[in-house]
Amino acid sequence: MPRVRIPVRLTDTFAAADDRTLLARFAGDRDETAFATIVRRHARMVYGVCKRAVRDEHLAEDAFQAVFLVLARDATDRVAASSVGGWLFGIARRIGLAARRHEDRRLRRDLGRGTEFSRSPESTFDDLLEVLDEELAKLPEEYRAPLIACFLEERTLDEAAKHLGWSLSTLRRRLDRGKELLRVRLTRRGATLASGLLAGTLAPSVQAAVPARLLRGAVEPSPLAKSLAAETVRSLVGIKLVLATVALVTLGGLGLALTSRVDGSTPHVPPSQPVAPSVSPAPRFVERTPWVTVTGRVVFPSERAIPPQRFVAESAIKDLEFFGGATEGDVVIDPRTRGLANAVVWLRPDTDDKKAAFPVDKIHPALGAAQSQDHSVFMSAGGFTPRVIAARAGDRVAFRNATPVAFNVNYHEGVAQLERPEGDARTFNVLLPNGATHTTSRLPALTGCDSFRDNIHPWVRGYVWAFDHPYFAVTDANGNFTIPNAPAGTWRLTVWHEKAGYRNGAAGRLGEPIAIGGNGKAQLGEVVHASPGWND
C-alpha cells in the first residue's frame, strides 16, 4: 500500500460525526480522512497522558505514535466501544508506562549493571497529575468515560452525551457519580487537586500542546513506537504483529502502520477474547511457571435475552430529588460483550471439602502476610458504591456518607464462616447522616457472604466476601476479572453473583477444576454464568 499524505487542514466533512461513525468508515473503507479526524480530536488528551507517564518529550512522541498505531490495528473492535476517548486514555497510559520502563532499562544498560541513576526532579504538581491519571484509570468505564470527555477533552455536556451515545440525563448521572468516586480516591491519596478538577479548571493543565512535527507532513513512526505498538497489540489480541510486513500510511500527519494484502484489502483481526471458554475439567498440570496471572470475563448466557433495566417506582422512593431515576442495580450487563458486572470470582483447592483452607505454601511470598486494610463503601445516588466487596480475612469495611441524604446501613453476617474470633459480631443497624462513617469489625474468612442494605431506601443493597487467601476478584462493568500471582497447578474456579447465585447452581459452590500455568498467563476467555437459580 503506498504512503498517503493527508493535509493538515482538513475539511469539516466529519466535524459532526461521532467517533464510532468515523472508525466504522475507517474500518470498512480505510477512509484516511475519517481516521485523521479522530487523531486531531483526541491528540491533546493522548499526548498529555503519554507525557505525564514518561516525563520526556521525545519518549512522549514515541508513545503518542504507538497509541494511534494500535487504534488503527484494532479499529474494527473499537467501532462498538462506548467511548473511543476512554479507550485511548487507557491505551495511552499503558503505552506511556511501557515506554518509561523501556527507557529505564536502556539507561541501566548504558550506565552499567548495578549503577544507580536518577531522573530530573519534577514538580509536585506533575506528581499530582500522575496520581490523577492512575486513579482515573481505576474507575469503571461508565464513570471514567464522561470524566475524560468533559474534563480532559473539555467537551460540553451535549457534545459528550452525543459522542458517548447516552441521553443527557444518563451522562449527568454518571458524571456526578464519577466525580464523587474520583474525588474520594484523590483525597485518600492526599491529592489536593480534586476540587480544581471537579470544577473544570484543571483541564487545560492536564493537557499538553502536541508538537507540530507530529501533525505536520508525513512523519514515519519511530522504531520504538512500532515496538511499543506491537507489544500492546499482542497483549490485546494475543497475536504477534510483524512490523517488517506492515505498510506505512500517514494519517493526520501521523505515520500509521497498517497491514494489507496484495489486493489492498485488510486482513481479519481476531477478537480480543478467545471464542471458546477454557473453564472446563482439565488434566493435572505439570508446573513450569510458579506464578500466573489469571484473566477472563464472566458473561450472561448468549441464548437468553438480556433482561431490561428495572427502574424503582417513584412512589416507592424516599428522597426522590436525590434518587430520581434509580434502578434496582442487582443485574448490570454490558450489552456489547454480555459481560456481567459485580460477580465474585475466586480460586479454591481442588477438593470437595467445603471447609478446605487455601494452602499457605501456595500463596505468593509477597502476598503471604498482607497488611489488613479498610475497604470504603460510599453512599451515592446510585446506591452503595461499590455494591460488592471482595476482601481478605482481617480487612474491614468502612461505610462513608458524604451526600446530603441520610442512609441506613443494616449489616448482617453470612450464614457460615470458617472461624469466629471470640467476641466478634458484625451485625449492626446504624443511621449515617451527612459526614458520618461506620466501620465493621475485622472480617474472618467466610464461606458465605455478608450482606447489607438501606432500610430507608430498600433497593440499595450490597454484599461482602472475605477469603483466607488473595486469589479473588470482582468483575468490572464489562464482566472482566484479573487474579494476579496465582499458583500454577490445578485449582477450582468459583463464580458467585447476587442474582444468579453460584455458577451452575448449588453444585457450583465447590467450583470447577481448571489448570493454570505455562507462560505466566492464563486466559480463561468467556465464563458463562448459567444457573438454575437465575430468574429474570
Which pLDDT tens digit goes with each residue over 495-529? Answer: 999 988 998 887 888 999 998 876 678 889 899 98
Tell me the C-alpha distance between 36 and 41, whole Å.
Answer: 8
Q: In the 8-state DSSP scheme, what is residue 34? A: H
Closest C-alpha to 47, from 32, 59, 35, 36: 59
Lowest model confidence (mean pLDDT) among 243-252, 299-308, 406-415, 428-437: 243-252
The model's pLDDT over 257-283, given as tens digits with 9 standing for 90+, comes to 333 333 333 334 344 443 333 343 443
- Report which residue type is found at 410: N
Count the alpha carbons within 13 Å of 419 in the hemisphere toward its beta carbon. Answer: 9
C-alpha cell recorded at residue 397? 469495611
pLDDT given at position 111: 63
Q: Is the pLDDT of residue 330 over 50?
A: yes
pLDDT given at position 259: 34
Tell me the C-alpha distance between 402 and 14, whole Å.
Answer: 43
Q: In the 8-state DSSP scheme, what is residue 113? A: T
The model's pLDDT over 394-414, given as tens digits with 9 standing for 90+, comes to 999 999 998 889 999 999 987
Q: Which domains does the chain have, with CATH numbers?
A: 19-258 (no CATH), 369-480 (2.60.40.420)
Q: Is the pLDDT of residue 195 over 50?
A: no
pLDDT, averaged across the chain = 76
The model's pLDDT over 427-478, given as tens digits with 9 standing for 90+, comes to 899 999 988 999 999 998 888 899 999 999 999 999 999 999 999 999 998 8
Closest C-alpha to 394, from 367, 365, 412, 415: 367
Tell me the C-alpha distance between 350 and 514, whole Å.
Answer: 9
pLDDT given at position 527: 92
Peptide bond into 386 cis (omega under 30): yes
> Which residues have C-beta within 8 Å of that of residue 28, sequence separation ≥ 6?
none
Share of the chain above pLDDT 70, in %: 72
pLDDT given at position 16: 59
Tell me the C-alpha distance between 395 and 289, whole Å.
Answer: 30
pLDDT given at position 521: 82
Cα-flanking dihedrals φ and ψ of residue 433, to 5°? -75, 180
Mean pLDDT of 475-490: 91
| Stronger pLDDT, 257 or 87, i.e. the higher one | 87
Q: Which DSSP helix (H) or strand (E) runs through 521? A: strand 521-528
Q: Is the pLDDT of residue 127 over 50?
A: yes
- Per-residue confidence band for 82, with pLDDT thresholds at 50, 70 and 90: low
Going through 207-299 in order, the beta strands assigned E by DSSP cover 247-251, 254-258, 291-299
> Which residues have C-beta within 8 Å of that of residue 232, sequence separation ≥ 6?
66, 70, 91, 94, 95, 98
Cα-flanking dihedrals φ and ψ of residue 339, to 5°? -65, 140
Q: Hunting for cell 480460586 — which residue is that?
A: 347
| Stronger pLDDT, 118 or 298, i.e. the higher one | 298
